[in-house]
């Protein structure tokens, strides 16, 4: 005589298809024991369900904490962008606009190294020094800011003696009426500007900078 043995999947499917099973056999809930997920002792199905619900609650709590943290970070960045916008709007000269930009980025955003080049206008300022055609092509080809751990050699020279210590970069193109250029932010921290990071605020920063400079160039 052959005895058919049900598989785990068949048992699980049976219980799914017959939710009233334990209603007719309620005594089994206290008689059946299962291994504790975090220990060797056996516990009842009811206790195991409590453990499962606690784990789910803990996971939901952790996700909620992450959402709150992201919201607080976004609020903080939004506040910094607001102050930067006001500072750029209040600038009455090109040097004042550049000073406001650098001051906001270094003090509010804690970005240690900043380099700016604009090639659509001729001004007697370091930010308007000539750049190669390769850099122009690179900037024109950027549909959005680009973050990563490497930068072209020419861009590294913009940072002077600090270039050898830099480990991450954010390249933000400047494109506005009368303005073509590139804003580059850099850090010794390799995790500051990483390839997968979001670029929404960097894109806004590029637009703000371009609009501010367009008033003077």
Domain-by-domain residue ranges, the chain? 10-90, 94-214
What pLDDT, on the 0 to 100 scale, is given for residue 2? 57
Residue-level pLDDT at 207: 94
Cα dihedral across residues 203, 209, 214, 217: positive or negative: negative
- Residues for the chain: how many in total? 217
**What's the chain's Rg over C-alpha atoms?**
30
Q: Return the SS3 of 174.
A: strand
- Entry pTM: 0.70
Residues of the chain with pLDDT under 70: 1-4, 22-48, 51
**Which CATH number is correct for 94-214, 3.30.450.20, 3.40.50.170, 3.40.50.261, 3.30.450.40?**
3.30.450.40
pLDDT for position 11: 72
Tokens 């606009």 identify what position? 97
Backbone phi and psi for residue 103, each to the nearest 5 degrees, phi listed first:
-65, -45
Instruction: Report the pLDDT value the prediction gives residue 53, as an integer from 0 to 100.
Output: 78
Q: Give me the long-range contacts of 130-139 (CB less than 8 A, separation at least 24).
A: 131/182, 135/182, 136/180, 138/171, 138/182, 139/171, 139/173, 139/174, 139/180, 139/181, 139/182
Give the Cα separation of 133 and 109 in Å (integer).
31
Cα 65 versus chain centre, distance: 16
pLDDT at 206: 95
């Amino acid at each position: 005589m052959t005895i058919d043995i049900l598989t785990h999947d068949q048992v699980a499917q049976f219980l799914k298809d017959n939710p009233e099973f334990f209603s007719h056999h309620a005594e089994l809930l206290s008689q059946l024991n299962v291994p504790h997920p975090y220990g060797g002792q056996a516990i009842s199905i009811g206790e195991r369900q409590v453990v499962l619900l606690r784990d789910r609650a803990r996971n939901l709590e952790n996700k909620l904490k992450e959402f709150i943290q992201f919201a607080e970070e976004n609020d903080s960045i939004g506040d910094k962008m607001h102050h930067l916008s006001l500072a750029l709007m209040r600038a009455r000269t090109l040097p004042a606009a550049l000073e406001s930009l650098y001051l906001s980025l270094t003090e509010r955003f804690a970005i240690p190294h900043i380099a700016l080049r604009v090639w659509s206008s001729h001004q007697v300022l370091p930010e308007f020094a000539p750049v190669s055609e390769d850099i122009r092509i690179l900037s024109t080809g950027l549909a959005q800011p680009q973050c990563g751990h490497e930068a072209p050699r020419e861009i590294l020279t913009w940072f002077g003696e600090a270039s050898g210590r830099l480990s991450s970069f954010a390249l933000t193109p400047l494109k506005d009426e009368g303005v073509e250029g590139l804003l580059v932010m850099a850090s010794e921290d390799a995790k500051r500007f990483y390839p997968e990071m979001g670029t929404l605020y960097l894109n806004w920063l590029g637009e703000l900078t371009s609009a501010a400079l367009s008033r003077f160039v």
